[in-house]
Homo-oligomer: A and B are copies of this chain.
Amino acid sequence: MNKKPFLNYINRYIHLTIEEENLLFSKIIERNYLKDQYIVQQGDTCKTVNFIISGCTKTFYMNTDGQEHIVGFSIEDWWTSDLGSFITQTPADFNVQCLENTKLFQFTYDNLEELYEEIPKLERLFRKITERAFVASQKRIIRNFSLSAKERYQIFKTTYPKIEQRVPQYMIASYLGITKEFLSKIKSQMTQER
């Protein structure tokens, strides 16, 4: 178990003693998923929050006529879960599926509750992480309302250049809230403009 990436990550927010680090890692489960496997399925209760060591996931909602709406992608050094399902321990609205073979550090609900008691600093860690995630989510809502599909695509490209290269176009279209055909049109427009 290579603890480095996760320690580097949490050190951006809090500092733990050696004892705390050991306690923390004693409750983390390392797990590997294969490409296409599901970490969470819509309707199941989400059992874990997951830190990605390597790999890539998509979080999506599938509506009744089988249309897939992508809420987000996650890669190394970020989290993946259905947080709503996890915190309330009720059925998930979203699916989380691996787009590559993916290695995770998993926190189960009970383990995380115990850790919050044992290492109160972790409350701060997750408070700060969630604050940032919330702010990003609010900004995305406004962008979706106030910008055209082309502008949103350009922002996506500059904000998440790594993700753009790892994920098929039709999923990016879904993330942007447009059809794959329209994204294709936007891209051909953009090459002509150059």
* A positions within 8 Å CB-CB of B: 61, 63, 67, 69, 71, 83-84, 87, 93, 116, 120, 123-124, 126-128, 130-135, 137-142, 144-146, 177
Contacts and interface: CB of A to CB of B under 8 A. Distances in A.
Contact of A84 (B124, B135, B141, B146): B135
Given A126-B127, A131-B83, A141 B142 contact: no
Contact of A144 (B134, B139, B144): B144
A146 to B, nearest CB: 5
B146 A144 contact: no
A145 B142 CA distance: 13
A69 B142 contact: yes
A142 B177 CA distance: 9
B138 A127 contact: no
Contacts of A120: 120, 123
B177 A84 contact: no
Contact of A141 (B116, B133, B137): B137
A95 B105 CA distance: 39
Contacts of A116: 124
A67 B67 CA distance: 32
A134 B141 CA distance: 12
Contacts of A138: 71, 83-84, 137
A132 B87 contact: yes
A93 B135 CA distance: 11
A100 B161 CA distance: 44
Contacts of A135: 83-84, 87
Contacts of A83: 131, 134-135, 138
